[in-house]
Amino acid sequence: MVLHSAQDIMQALQAFEDPKIVITTHHKPDADAMGSSLGLKLFLDTFGYRVDVVSPTDYASFLNWMKDSESTVIYEHETELATQLALQADFIFCLDFNHLSRINEFGDVVARSNAKKVLIDHHQYPQGFEDFTFWDDMASSTCELVYRFIHANGMDSRIDKHVAACLYTGIVTDTGSFRFSNTGAETMRIAATLMDKGINHVQIFDSVYDSFTESRVRFIGYAISQKMEVLREYNTALITITGEELKAYNVITGDTEGLVNYGLSIEGIKFAVLIIDRNKIVKMSFRSKGNFAANQFAMQHFNGGGHFYAAGGSSDLNLEETIEKFKKTLVIYKAQLNGN
């Protein structure tokens, strides 16, 4: 894989007199996906370019304070407009994902578009569909990469407090509030630079972590107390959620974010898994500690991927069958899950 410098990418962009730009990110975008997309959009806006953010699906409402989030074109709601924007674009920035399957049907449109595609991402094993690659799987977050992209071009002065707030949020959430192993000194320096831009970090934390609905908090309590199995033999904690339970607690987009982590907070647990029946698909989240690679597990058994310690996947089987398959698969990893 050939990596491109931030300057090369910016030069290619500026070779166009008035480039039309689309920024897209993975379905059900999280804070890093939305923060990096909107942060990059607001930065590119300062050049007067036409920039549209297209998300394959809706996003969590706790991110709707981000500037211009309301202008996001949701592909599944505005398919024609999103398609037109992608086909007419000169550049498509692909943020926080590296495989076209992560943007659902919009992937076919992006593949068809003659636009130059720029990947800015920190997940392992990129598919390689893009023309320009700005990629580092050691980066804490895509937001950190967007900052590095701007900084390497000597354009920090174009970062206002809105860009900074978007980028800071993705760094916070992808590092688990600066505590995961992907947090480096450089991450902290970048966060400090963004704080210097005048963001209100207390308000950001409040929006992301302390603005849950009552039913979301009760749902978390229910999931942990009633639906979590601790499989000591495998140092694994498993939470499973049915479609009925999602309805009973009025669970909406974003409400299950972070739920998988509770399993990992139990002493000795090395692998935490959340399995949710999402109607047509059974969605899975994986988190791990120590030497256990969550993304390998997701990739090899559940059509997924992600990072070493945080990954996701899905299953075409029904919920019960998926749980059964998961438990059977665990057996293969028994020794590894009992090691360090």
Binding site for ligand 5GP (CB under 6 A): 26, 99, 102, 123, 285, 304-307, 310-314
Least separation, in Å, of the C-beta of 141 and ligand 5GP? 9
Q: Measured between alpha carbons, how far is residue 193 from residues 101, 168, 229 in Å? A: 34, 10, 42
Q: Is the Cβ of residue 69 or residue 288 nearer to ligand 5GP in the bound state? A: 288
Closest CA to 37 of 212, 169, 158: 169
Distance CA 99, CA 103 (A): 8
Q: Which residue has the tokens 């390497």?
A: 152
Size of the site for Mn ion (CB under 5 A): 5
Q: Is the Cβ of residue 91 or residue 302 nearer to ligand 5GP in the bound state? A: 302
32 lies in the binding site for Mn ion (CB under 5 A): yes
Q: Is the Cβ of residue 19 or residue 305 nearer to Mn ion in the bound state? A: 305
144 lies in the binding site for Mn ion (CB under 5 A): no
Least separation, in Å, of the C-beta of 32 and Mn ion? 3
Sheet holding 271-278, edge to edge: 228-231, 236-241, 271-278, 281-288, 310-315, 305-306
Q: Measured between alpha carbons, how far is residue 139 from residues 146, 175, 194, 256 in Å? A: 10, 10, 16, 25
- The two three-digit tokens of residue 158, written as one number: 């174009």
310 binds, among ligand 5GP, Mn ion, none (CB under 5 to 8 A by kind): ligand 5GP
Instruction: HSE, CB side, 13 Å, CA atoms: give it for residue 323.
Output: 16
Binding mask 93-112 for Mn ion (x = CB under 5 A): ---x----------------
56 binds, among ligand 5GP, Mn ion, none (CB under 5 to 8 A by kind): none
Q: Is the Cβ of residue 246 or residue 311 nearer to ligand 5GP in the bound state? A: 311
277 binds, among ligand 5GP, Mn ion, none (CB under 5 to 8 A by kind): none
254 binds, among Mn ion, ligand 5GP, none (CB under 5 to 8 A by kind): none
Q: Measured between alpha carbons, how far is residue 164 from residues 126, 197, 278 in Å? A: 27, 6, 34
174 lies in the binding site for Mn ion (CB under 5 A): yes
Q: Is the Cβ of residue 162 or residue 283 nearer to ligand 5GP in the bound state? A: 283
Distance CA 31, CA 171 (A): 9
- The two three-digit tokens of residue 246, written as one number: 């999602």
